[in-house]
């Protein structure tokens, strides 16, 4: 019986520590949202500098200043996904974010850029969609306005890549 006392003491200590610092449901939801943003590669478009090969990880998901042109549609610049009230999603509710991610429609009724893979993201479970939205709302706000989209044939406001359709 003596040989089990150290093990029992260690197990009791671990249980006491776990009880003192329980993971909350919100912590779990934010961790899930961060995981989803990572595997959905939100940062692959929405982080400053990413298209130039130098992502600015001091401003993750803060919006990109380099856009891409889709022939016949215009030039699109990935917007700021942080909760900054002036340049990001700060005025959007979690429901607004979920709707945009799942349906491609912003709160103002405009459609997201066609390159945004919302059709794939429409399959998110309710819990995952809420987790992603909660995570985006939890980020440190980054004041960074991505250039506005410009229509086909309009002059660019910032650098962009062009999608060339083969003939």
- Tens of pLDDT, residue by residue over 145-163, are 999 999 999 999 899 999 7
pTM above 0.85, yes or no: no
Return the exposure string of 103-136: e unless at least 16 CB atoms fall within 10 Å of the residue's CB, then b: ebeeeeeeebbeebebeebeebeeebbbbbbbbb
Look at residue 76 and tell me if it is in a domain. Answer: yes
Look at residue 24 and tell me if it is in a domain. Answer: yes
Look at residue 25 and tell me if it is in a domain. Answer: yes
Domain with 42, as residue range(s), is 2-91+123-162
Number of domains in the chain: 1
- Token duo for residue 141: 């706000």
Look at residue 87 and tell me if it is in a domain. Answer: yes
Look at residue 118 and tell me if it is in a domain. Answer: no
Look at residue 48 and tell me if it is in a domain. Answer: yes
- Give 39-95 pLDDT, tens digit per residue: 999 999 999 999 999 999 999 999 999 999 999 999 999 999 999 999 999 999 999
- Token duo for residue 130: 């809420």
CA dist 88 → 14, 56, 63, 104, 153 (Å): 42, 16, 8, 17, 27
**Extended beta strands in the chain, E state:** 67-70, 74-76, 150-151, 160-162
């Amino acid at each position: 019986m003596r040989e089990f006392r150290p093990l029992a003491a260690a197990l009791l200590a671990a249980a006491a520590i776990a009880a003192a610092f329980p993971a909350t449901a919100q912590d779990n939801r934010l961790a899930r949202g961060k995981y989803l943003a990572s595997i959905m590669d939100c940062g692959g478009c929405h982080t400053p500098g990413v298209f130039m090969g130098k992502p600015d990880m001091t401003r993750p998901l803060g919006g990109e200043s380099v856009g891409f042109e889709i022939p016949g549609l215009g030039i699109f610049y990935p917007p700021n996904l942080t909760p900054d009230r002036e340049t990001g999603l700060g005025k959007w509710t979690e429901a607004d974010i979920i709707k945009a991610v799942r349906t491609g429609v912003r709160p103002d009724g405009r459609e997201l850029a066609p390159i945004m893979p919302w059709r794939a993201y429409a399959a998110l479970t309710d819990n995952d969609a809420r987790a992603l939205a909660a995570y985006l709302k939890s980020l440190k706000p980054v004041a960074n306005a991505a250039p506005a989209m410009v229509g086909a044939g309009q002059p660019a406001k910032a650098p962009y890549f062009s999608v060339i359709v083969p003939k």
